[in-house]
């Protein structure tokens, strides 16, 4: 099952494990937080845009009653790895991995066929900051293959009326995210800022946006990652370790 330079990691929820490369981009806290924050409709269909190794579909399968969860990614090697993780966890009846370009979303899926869209997109504009020479890592961190506009367009097309887009991003891109979502009939409904420590500026935000609904944004209590002693807060420990029935 495992190839050279691959490892099998325990997700610490319902016995799930994920295959990851030992020397490539691995999933981080942001994927775990997003899968917990997303308001997944029971019995509905959900799609993860830019799924990578399939971490978010795996976690959503454990934390929700979604009937079908699809992970979409353009990188063939990551899709193949994600499919092996799905097979290893015996979840082929609920999770499907599709290799394709988000910019060709209309050629891949029907219009308004999902209740939920989730995305942990690249945070940095193409050409900004240090950009890895490794193409896979660069695509995960920089908007080389898709940007906020592409995600909003795809979500508008995929979501049913009143369907929900859930995403995570960096605060310095907040205005970009909110303005683009509204242009595509996706109204921000709740936002939660993630702080590394209490009293420190946030370094991430979680957002739920609903299609074709009235404006009303709820700013939720801050999510603090660590206590002063450097250990995870109780809430973060719950998100990482609590079994969801």
Assess if residue 170 is contained within a domain. Answer: yes
- Per-residue pLDDT, averaged over 151-177, amounts to 97
What CATH number is associated with residue 42? 3.40.50.150
Binned at pLDDT 50, 70 and 90, residue 1 comes out as: confident
Assess if residue 1 is contained within a domain. Answer: no
Assess if residue 81 is contained within a domain. Answer: yes
Q: What's the pLDDT tens digit per position in 16-52?
A: 999 998 877 778 899 999 999 999 999 999 999 999 9
Provide the pairing of β-strand 68-73 with 218-219.
unpaired
**Is the Cβ–Cβ distance between 172 and 128 less than 8 Å?**
no
> Residue 141 belongs to what domain range?
6-241
Binned at pLDDT 50, 70 and 90, residue 135 comes out as: low
Dist CA 78 CA 50 (whole Å): 10
Assess if residue 178 is contained within a domain. Answer: yes
Sign of the C-alpha dihedral, residues 25, 200, 35, 162? negative
The Cα-based distances of 85 to 19, 59, 201, 215, 236 in angstroms read 6, 12, 36, 39, 25
Assess if residue 111 is contained within a domain. Answer: yes
Assess if residue 191 is contained within a domain. Answer: yes
pLDDT above 50 (res 160): yes
How many Å from the N-terminal Cα to the C-terminal Cα in the chain? 29
Domain count, the chain: 1
Assess if residue 55 is contained within a domain. Answer: yes
Assess if residue 137 is contained within a domain. Answer: yes
């Amino acid at each position: 099952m495992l190839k050279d330079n691959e490892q099998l990691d325990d997700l610490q929820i319902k016995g799930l494990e994920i295959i990851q490369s030992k020397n490539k981009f691995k999933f981080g806290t942001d994927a775990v937080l997003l899968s917990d924050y997303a308001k997944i409709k029971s019995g509905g269909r959900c799609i993860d845009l830019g799924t990578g190794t399939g971490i978010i579909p795996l976690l959503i399968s454990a934390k929700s009653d979604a009937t079908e969860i699809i992970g979409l990614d353009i990188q063939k090697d990551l899709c193949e790895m994600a499919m092996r993780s799905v097979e290893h966890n015996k979840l082929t009846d609920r999770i499907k991995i599709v290799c394709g370009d988000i910019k060709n979303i209309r050629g891949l899926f029907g219009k308004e066929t999902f209740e939920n869209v989730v995305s942990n997109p690249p945070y940095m504009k193409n050409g900004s900051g240090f950009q890895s020479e490794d193409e896979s890592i660069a695509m995960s961190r920089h908007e080389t293959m898709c940007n906020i506009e592409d995600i909003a367009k795809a979500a508008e097309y995929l979501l049913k009326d009143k369907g929900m887009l859930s995403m995570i991003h960096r605060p310095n891109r907040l205005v970009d995210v909110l303005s683009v979502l509204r242009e595509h009939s996706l109204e921000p409904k709740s936002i939660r800022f993630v702080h590394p420590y209490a009293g420190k500026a946030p370094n991430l935000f979680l957002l739920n946006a609903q299609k074709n609904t009235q404006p009303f944004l709820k700013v939720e209590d801050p999510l603090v990652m660590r206590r002063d002693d450097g250990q995870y807060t109780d809430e973060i420990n719950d998100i990482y370790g609590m079994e969801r029935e």
